[in-house]
Amino acid sequence: MALSRVLMLLGVLAWSSGTMAANATFKCTIKITYAQPPRGQSPDAVKFQDDAIVRTKDGRPVQIKSVSWWGVNDNGTSVLGSLWSGGSAAATDMPSIAFQLRAQGLNGIRLPFTFEDLRAPPRSMWAKQGCQKVTLGVPSPPGDAPAAPAAPGGARCAWYLPDSSSQDRLLWTLQWFVANGFYVLLEHTPAGSDAISRNAAEFSSAWRSLWRAVACLPNFEDDLQGRVFVGLLGAPDITGHRWEASRGLDGGELPGITELYLDTMDALWEDTPAALTFFIAGAGQGGASTWGSGFVTDKAIVAVNDYSGALRQPSFDPSTQTAGA
């Protein structure tokens, strides 16, 4: 624990040598009140070139293998999932979990969030939970683990997460992942009562405020640009959004995602020209369905990869490139 605290403090000093977005068109007025994570080793900055993701410095192709880590949009804790449950560090400590993800060959993290949760007061329920060391040969039981009592000596999981605000916690999290070799997709994914996407102006303003906070982080230019991507709206069909303005699932008026996307992309690009990569989700399919997530499968990919029988089920027919329900 003492060594971890020293590393966190050293991280504050290391960040002081960096700069915010060099080409930003606005003045940073955001004050950072939490300890910055150590800079570590960020992955190579990337960009899109035709239909490929390539390294910015030399154009070499890059493969990003990612996983979604939910929790920041959970209507309450505003922290990555499982960090509050206590128990083994293998299941409840962010660096321990991230180490395992990297060991599996993953180099990308999708962080779904809601603006409502970012505005909510942060909760520190995990700070009271114990964090036992990982013991080889003792598997963790499946399912939700009950909160563990405080470990002897006061050991804690996730004690390092900021309590200053929920947004600070999200910013710290994305900085930490990038410093540990991950690409990060920040994605607004509607959940609960978050209805900001019902108003195009509010949606654009919220994204602009968050992105300015990202661009004002120390070392944005050196460590974050080209590694942090913007997912404007995840699964828009969940809330009834279509490409054009329409009536929502509850009968209320909804702006089209065309308006949401273009207005927001223009606003963010104006603030940090050429420093953004956008990810957008389509609309028009059934609620909570996403085109490309198993409904259309590339036979060539199936042929050269071993999926251990997962796709060799009656409901899946590679010959027709179709996954059944």
Distance from CA of residue 112 to its chain's centroid?
5
Q: How far apart are CA 42 and CA 183, in angstroms?
A: 8
DSSP character at residue 319? G
280/143 same-domain check: yes
Q: How far apart are CA 79 and CA 254, in angstroms?
A: 29
Q: What is the per-residue pLDDT for 76?
A: 60
78/205 same-domain check: yes
State whether residue 15 is helix, strand or coil: helix
With tokens 């606005």, the residue in question is: 26
Q: Tokens in use for 298?
A: 């590339």
281/229 same-domain check: yes
Q: How far apart are CA 180 and CA 40, in angstroms?
A: 6
118/242 same-domain check: yes
221/259 same-domain check: yes
Q: How far apart are CA 172 and CA 174, in angstroms?
A: 6
Q: What is the CATH number of the domain that holds 232?
A: 3.20.20
- How confident is residue 91, by pLDDT bands cut at 50, 70 and 90? low
252/321 same-domain check: no
State how many domains the chain has.
2
HSE-CB of 176 using CA atoms within 13 angstroms: 23
262/317 same-domain check: no
Q: What angle do CA 243, 48, 278 make, to 5 degrees?
A: 35
- How confident is residue 274, by pLDDT bands cut at 50, 70 and 90? confident
pLDDT (tens digit per residue) in 148-195: 444 444 556 677 778 888 888 889 989 999 999 999 999 998 876 678
Sheet holding 183-188, edge to edge: 66-68, 108-113, 183-188, 228-231, 278-279
Of residues 88, 81, 57, the one with CA closest to residue 222? 57
Average pLDDT over residues 23-32: 81
pLDDT (tens digit per residue) in 108-159: 999 988 898 888 777 665 554 555 554 444 444 444 444 444 444 455 667 7
223/74 same-domain check: yes
310/183 same-domain check: no
Q: How far apart are CA 261 and CA 124, in angstroms?
A: 34
What domain range is 321 assigned to? 295-325
286/300 same-domain check: no
